[in-house]
């Protein structure tokens, strides 16, 4: 049986997928593969989920669509992800993202807060 926290995380992740896929479509952010679908249409973390903590795990700034090859087999395809992110959001925003990696929050409270925000987004 899933814990309440895991159920909350699943809801937030579902919203993240909806928002990012609506914004970026079905093209892999890092390699450009098109028409991604099913298990090949993944949501990848720029700063890996294991390293980004609760604050950035579901942060839309840190998420982009990826194919399975880039996200899983290439470990996120970090060098290309960095290059594309720098071109898209700029060095200043990228620096802020890395600084935010160190923010600490109470996970449940943070997830509840962003879920309320995300359900309102297109």
Averages of pLDDT over each 10 residues, the chain, 122 residues: 93 98 98 97 96 94 98 97 98 97 94 98 93
Answer whether residue 78 is part of any domain: yes
Q: Determine, yes or no, domain membership for 100.
A: yes
* 33 domain residue, yes or no: yes
Q: How many domains does the chain have?
A: 1
pLDDT at 28: 98
pLDDT for position 16: 98
Where in the sequence is the domain holding 28, given as residue range(s)?
20-106
63 vs 43: CA distance, rounded Å: 6
Whole-structure pTM value: 0.95
With respect to residue 2, please indicate whether it lies within any of the assigned structural domains.
no
């Amino acid at each position: 049986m899933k814990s309440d926290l895991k159920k909350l995380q699943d809801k937030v992740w579902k919203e993240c997928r909806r928002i990012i896929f609506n914004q970026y479509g079905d093209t892999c952010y890092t390699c450009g593969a098109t028409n991604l679908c099913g298990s090949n249409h993944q949501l990848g973390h720029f700063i890996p989920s294991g390293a980004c903590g609760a604050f950035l795990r579901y942060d839309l700034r840190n998420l982009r669509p990826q194919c399975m090859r880039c996200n899983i087999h290439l470990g996120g395809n970090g060098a290309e992800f960095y290059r594309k992110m720098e071109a898209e959001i700029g060095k200043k925003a990228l620096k802020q993202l890395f600084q935010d990696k160190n923010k600490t929050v109470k996970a449940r409270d943070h997830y509840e807060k962003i879920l309320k925000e995300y359900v309102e987004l297109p």
